[in-house]
Amino acid sequence: MNKAFFIDKDGTLVDNSGYPFVIPSDKILTEQVLDGLKHIKMKGYLLIIVSNQSWIAKKKLREIEVEDIFKSVISKLKESDVIVDDYVYCPHDSSEGCVCRKPNPKMLLDMAEKYDINLQESYMVGDMDSDILAGKNAGAKTILVLTGNGRDFVEKVSADHVVENINALMDLI
C-alpha cells in the first residue's frame, strides 16, 4: 500500500492572508513549503492537495477559475521539482451539508481508494480545524501548520503535531 500527505491548499501551500475578503490565489508560500514538500516526496509519500473551495458555491469564482488556480499551483511546484500526484476539492458551501466538505473525510477516503493508500501511515496537513478533523475522521495522522489561520486553531483542535510550516516537517518525517 502507498502512504500519502494530504495537504490543504489555502493558508498551507498558498498565501491566504486576505481571507475571507480576498480569494486565495496561486501565490505559493515558497520559503515555508518547498524544502518540506521535497523531503516528503523523497521519503516516498504521495502528495495530494485536498481543499474546500466554497468560492464556487458562493459564486465568487467559477469552477474553471478554481481549476486554473490549482493547475497553476501544481505547475509552479513542478518548476521547483515538487510533483503533486493529485488534487481534489469540494465546491460546496458549509450550509449545503455535503458529504465531501472537510471536516468530512470523503475526499481523503476517495483518494485512498484511488491510490491504494494506507491512511494509518498517512498525514493530513492544514491550517484549520476542518483540516485536522478531516484527517482524524479518515484515520490519518494530523499536522496543524501555523501558516495561514493555524495560530487561531492551536487551542481549538487536537492535532497530532503542530509545526511552524511545511518545511518543519523535515524534522518529523
| Residues belonging to the active site | 8, 10
SS3 content of the chain, % helix, strand, coil (to 5): 40, 20, 45
* The dihedral sign for the CA sequence 110, 161, 153, 8: negative
Of 56, 68, 82, 90, the closest CA to residue 169 belongs to 82
Calculate Rg over the CA atoms of the chain.
15
Place of cell 492535532: 159
Residues 115-138 as b/e (b if ≥16 CB within 10 A, e otherwise) read bebebeebbbbbbbbbbbbbbbbb
Report CA-CA distances (Å) from 48 to 6, 27, 40, 58, 68.
5, 18, 11, 25, 17
